[in-house]
Chains A and B, each alone.
Chain A
Amino acid sequence: MNRRDLLIRRASGKALGDTPNSTCSPCNVGNVGRFSNGVLLTHENKQVKFYDDLIRGRQVIVNFMYASCTGACPLITEKLIQVHKALKDRMGEDLFMYSLTLYPEQDDPATLKNFAQMHGALLPGWTFLTGDPYDLETIRYRLFRENHIKFDLSKGFHAAQLRIINDARNLWAHVSPNASLETILKHISWLDPPKSLEEIREENKILQEKIDADIKLHGYRRTV
């Protein structure tokens, strides 16, 4: 995509990533290599390609977990449910959540579905995934690698991280699932698709009204 196309898109108010899973022209072809395209199984026992079907052109939140985890995973799942509630209008539309198992030998689709059901996480736009250990290991290193053997080999360490990706904008962010809901939502918003001119104008208008009200109440030099 050249600068002209980008400007036309912006002017027309069309976000770069507003057509999830489409054959998006801004998607970097090289991204398949960055993510890996291994075939995984969803908790509904459906085969999907990791990049082509789940990541391409989308804004996603990815984490690793395992069904028998009694430590951090249930707490993280609870936090992700809060995130889902806060963004429920977008979930499954332009925002997706993927929870991949660290132990595919133990976690088949039925086990993952059971886990999701038990924690109330069978929600739209949220998919639990298992597959070949080879592919899951590749994805884990591609997304969460620290370039340090001790951390990279520790599966427990990877159960406590969230990766936010907007493939259309080619942006990645990382946030700890132990952070506050507000912080996590803030991190997600940093990767949101670019807003249209109308949306930006509307936001600026609301902001200006707040500033005006503030000035009216306190004056220009507000004393705290």
Chain B
Amino acid sequence: MKRLALISSLILMCLTAPAFGQTGCEFNIVGTWKATSINSVSSVIYRFEPDGTITMTSLPNSGQDSKSKEIARGTYKLDNAKSPQSILLKINGEDFDSPDRTISVKIIKYGETSFTTGSTDYDTLEWERMDATRYFLVLAGRNGVFYDRSGPTFPILIKTDGRETQVDAVGVYSRDNKPLFGTVPAELRDEFMKESRNASDVMLRLEISAPQYERGLKAMRTWDRRAKEGDLLYPNVFMDNILLVKQVTETLNQCGTTVKLYRLDAGGYDYISNDNPPSLTAYFYFKELKRLNESLHIPDVRFQEITHPAAKQARQ
């Protein structure tokens, strides 16, 4: 009976173990989080600084003259970023009723953009990341440009805070109708900043988290370096591009599944690689990802509202 209980608990542990606890998936608490109690509608904004300080502010009401107000300040300590169990909070606020002003909250589950805490004395809190910076990944492709009907295909990473926007794109692009690999020229990249009506174009725009953005950017910059230093892994740039798009898209699910991916590895089941030349593989891979993740696609109108909040206000 004891053995059965042990096996059952082991199975339960395996089932409940978060996919997040993988290599390179450390929990990063630094940033702004909205904490909402599951028993009430009240929310508080917590700003965790890298130096271990914390600021709590109230959420602004919907009324016209309402502003967010600072409630308290203090310090925090996360026990272990690789496998976090608890956060120790020391609050210096006036209105806090804890005698020693120190509370330890247990982390029940965690991910890149949210986590849940609970303690014996307080409600369970749902924490949601609410940093002002937004991140996007655009998978852009076109065919019918080069001699073999293939065309430029590249991922674009976008980081915007509503005022400044940083755009990075690396992959296969066209110059004088010849395929080249490296940083995509701005004019070609900008053609894919909007949805295209051209049937030969494919474009999927996904909103991603900061860690997903950083991982994608790291892969992209490594490939850019390879292109600049003449260290590409294949003599055929389309093969290099397949590895690039594979790496950038697969890092999305490195710390938990957020998008539906297609297994692009030239295995027996990989009909895209098996049925197409390398020059068209990345294009059809993007098409397949677009089909699989259509519901996650950010249309132009929504994207404009995020990158240009003034345009949204003007329309309202």
Contact = CB atoms under 8 A, between A and B. Distances in A.
Our verdict on whether A and B bind, yes or no, reads yes
Interface of A: 33, 36, 134, 137-138, 141, 145, 147-150, 152-153
A56 B214 CA distance: 38
B231 A36 contact: yes
Contacts, number: 32
A148 B266 contact: yes
A132 B264 CA distance: 26
A150 B231 contact: no
B273 interface: yes
Given A134-B225, A147-B239, A149-B243, A33 B230 contact: yes
A149 B242 contact: yes
A147 B225 CA distance: 21
B38 interface: no
A145 B233 contact: yes
Contacts of A141: 233-234
A31 B242 CA distance: 26
Given A134-B231, A149-B239, 16 more contacts: A33-B230, A134-B225, A137-B233, A138-B226, A138-B231, A138-B233, A141-B233, A141-B234, A147-B236, A147-B239, A148-B266, A149-B242, A149-B243, A149-B246, A150-B267, A152-B233
Contacts of B226: 134, 138
Contact of B222 (A33, A134, A150, A153): A134
Contact residue range for chain B? 10 to 19
A137 B243 CA distance: 13
A137 B265 CA distance: 18
The 6 closest A-B pairs by CB, nearest first: A141-B233, A150-B266, A149-B266, A138-B231, A150-B265, A150-B267
B234 A145 contact: yes
Nearest to B247: A153
Nearest to A152: B233
Contact of B273 (A137, A138, A145, A149): A149
Interface string B217-237: 000001001100011011010
B231 A153 contact: no
A153 B263 CA distance: 13
A149 B264 CA distance: 9
Nearest to B264: A149
B71 to A, nearest CB: 43
A205 to B, nearest CB: 47
A147 B273 CA distance: 13
Contacts of B246: 149
B307 to A, nearest CB: 33
A152 B264 CA distance: 13
Contacts of B242: 149
Contacts of B234: 141, 145, 147
Nearest to A148: B266
A75 B139 CA distance: 44
Contacts of B266: 148-150
Nearest to A153: B265
Nearest to B270: A150
Nearest to A149: B266
Contacts of A150: 265-267
A194 B156 CA distance: 53
Nearest to A141: B233
15 contacts: A134-B222, A134-B225, A134-B231, A138-B226, A141-B233, A141-B234, A147-B234, A147-B236, A148-B266, A149-B265, A149-B266, A149-B273, A150-B266, A152-B233, A153-B243
Nearest to A138: B231
Q: Which of B222, B231, B233, B236 has the most CB of A within 10 A?
A: B231
A137 B266 CA distance: 20
A36 B266 CA distance: 27
Nearest to A133: B222
A138 B223 CA distance: 11
A4 B16 CA distance: 75
Interface in B230-271: 230-231, 233-234, 236, 239, 242-243, 246, 264-267
A36 B229 CA distance: 10
Contacts of B231: 36, 134, 138
